[in-house]
Amino acid sequence: MSSPLPRRAHEALVRRFAAAHRDRPGGEVAVGHHNRNYVVPLDWPLALLLGRMPFGTRAKFRTPLDAVEVVPRIWPSEAEVLRAVTRRLGEVPRCLADFGDWSIHSYVPGRPLSEEIPHGPVGEELLRSFARFFARTACVPEAELPPLPADWPVSGDTQSFLRRLIDFTELRVHRHNRRRFGALFRAVGVRTDAMTAFAARLPLLAPRPFCLIHTDVHRANVVIVRPGRTVVIDWELSMFGDPVHELATHLVRMGYDEAERDRMRDLWADELTEAGRAELTKGLDTDLPVYLDFEYAQSVFPDIMRAALALPAVPADEDFEAAAAPVRRALRRAAEPLRLKGVPGTGRVVTALRAWHAGDVGERFLGAGAGAGPVSRLGGPGRLRPGPDPFAPLGPDQLAGTLNCGPWQSR
């Protein structure tokens, strides 16, 4: 909205009113894996300043949690991404104010799909709406997107793109957490060289042009506005990359059954073709399985760490058994891609978790202050904001924090 106030005065006022609003939220709280969201009706001064009349309109006050990325983030500012996205996808919530360390987004009234249909088939209408969404996202012009990191793979170079993702998993997820979790990984059967061996076996991918991809379209990031009408939220992890990676993450994280998975793949290819982007589907049959394998392989590390970190300070037998379930599921899914030698039984996983828990006392009680490792701090201010090179090695402080694990990992 154009304001009669000079820009800086306007910004200062928005910040002041917004901070006061955020401190007295009194609205609904929605905590995701990366952000704490307060959904609050705007009072009239803030509504006026943000140009969101009538006042009483709800907005989402979004504060990042202290989270470490376990998937790469190439654009530090979600607000910038949203500026480009909302120009073409008008239904996506806009960023109304960006204060750097937190932001205000418009709020889509509706219910997340994760509450409407937490598991199982979603039906043809929703599958079609996702396919249309992917095609529209793929059509956002590259020139309108925020600048890419200087050394980002060039469009079409799918091989380098997937290598970047694999290297990220190996360096920033696996190796950086090895000091604290390495023995646990090994005890449940994940060899130290599992990911590098996966990389070495990578087949040659077909070249495909890159496009904007959301990379995290799962049930908790889809809001049902009305029957059949969906809005995809949470664009923090979007990137410019291989469209087949988008399809693979979606297929896995939605937890589709085989029939819906196949149907979704076909609809995805049809919609892209109809949108005049058939070249994005080139090599789909051979390359989709590769990306699916990668998705299962990469998630084994965060899934194991997350299950371990979720254990209470003094776990009961049931806590260890409950934690073993997601670990075994992750191992089952990664077994083939990572060539694991079978999936250990619950007893072996429980023993591994007990040993990890007993040895992790120092990390839990002394925290990062005592020179603890990457994911030792479970709270605290701040949030990893990647620098210009999103793959530059991080110091222990930047890596400290909760794991950023999507809900697909807990299925």
Residue with token string 């090695």: 393
Asked if 183 and 355 touch (Cβ cutoff 8 Å), the reply is: yes
Three-state DSSP state, 65: coil
- The number of residues that bind Mg ion (CB under 5 A) is 3
SS3 category, 237: coil
Shortest CB 220 distance to Mg ion, Å: 5
Q: Which is nearer to ligand ADP, 33 or 261 (CB)?
A: 33
> 3-class DSSP state for residue 46?
helix
Residue 126 to residue 134: CA distance in whole angstroms = 12
Binds 408, which of Mg ion, ligand ADP, none (CB < 5 to 8 A, cut-off by type)?
Answer: none
The encoded tokens of residue 178 equal 């090895």
Q: Is the peptide bond before 54 cis (omega within 30 degrees of 0)?
A: yes
Binding mask 100-129 for ligand ADP (x = CB under 6 A): -------xx-xxx-x---------------
Question: Please, which residue, 72 or 337, has the CB nearer to ligand ADP?
Answer: 72
Among 17, 32, 256, 404, interactor with Mg ion by CB under 5 A: 32
Q: Residue with CB nearest Mg ion?
A: 234
Question: Which of Mg ion, ligand ADP, none does 48 bind, CB closer than 5 to 8 A by kind?
Answer: none
Indicate the pairing of strand 67-68 with strand 402-403: parallel
The residue written with tokens 């996702």 in the block is: 130
Q: Select the span of 28-36, 69-77, 147-155, 268-276 touching ligand ADP (CB under 6 A).
A: 28-36
* Count of Cβ atoms closer than 10 Å to residue 80 Cβ: 15
Q: Which residue is listed with tokens 């997937």?
A: 162
Q: Does residue 234 bind Mg ion (CB under 5 A)?
A: yes
Choose among 107, 140, 120: nearest CA to 30.
107
Q: Name the minimum Å distance from CB 234 to ligand ADP.
A: 3
* 111 vs 201 by CB, closer to ligand ADP: 111
Q: Give the binding-site size for ligand ADP (rule: CB under 6 A).
A: 19
Nearest residue (CB) to Mg ion, 36 versus 179 = 36
DSSP state of 307: H
Residue 215 makes contact with Mg ion by CB under 5 A:
no
* Helices and strands in the chain: count of H runs, count of E runs: 15, 12
Among 33, 73, 208, 214, binds ligand ADP (CB under 6 A): 33
List residues binding ligand ADP (CB under 6 A).
30, 32-35, 37, 60, 107-108, 110-112, 114, 220-221, 223, 233-234, 236
List residues binding Mg ion (CB under 5 A).
32, 221, 234
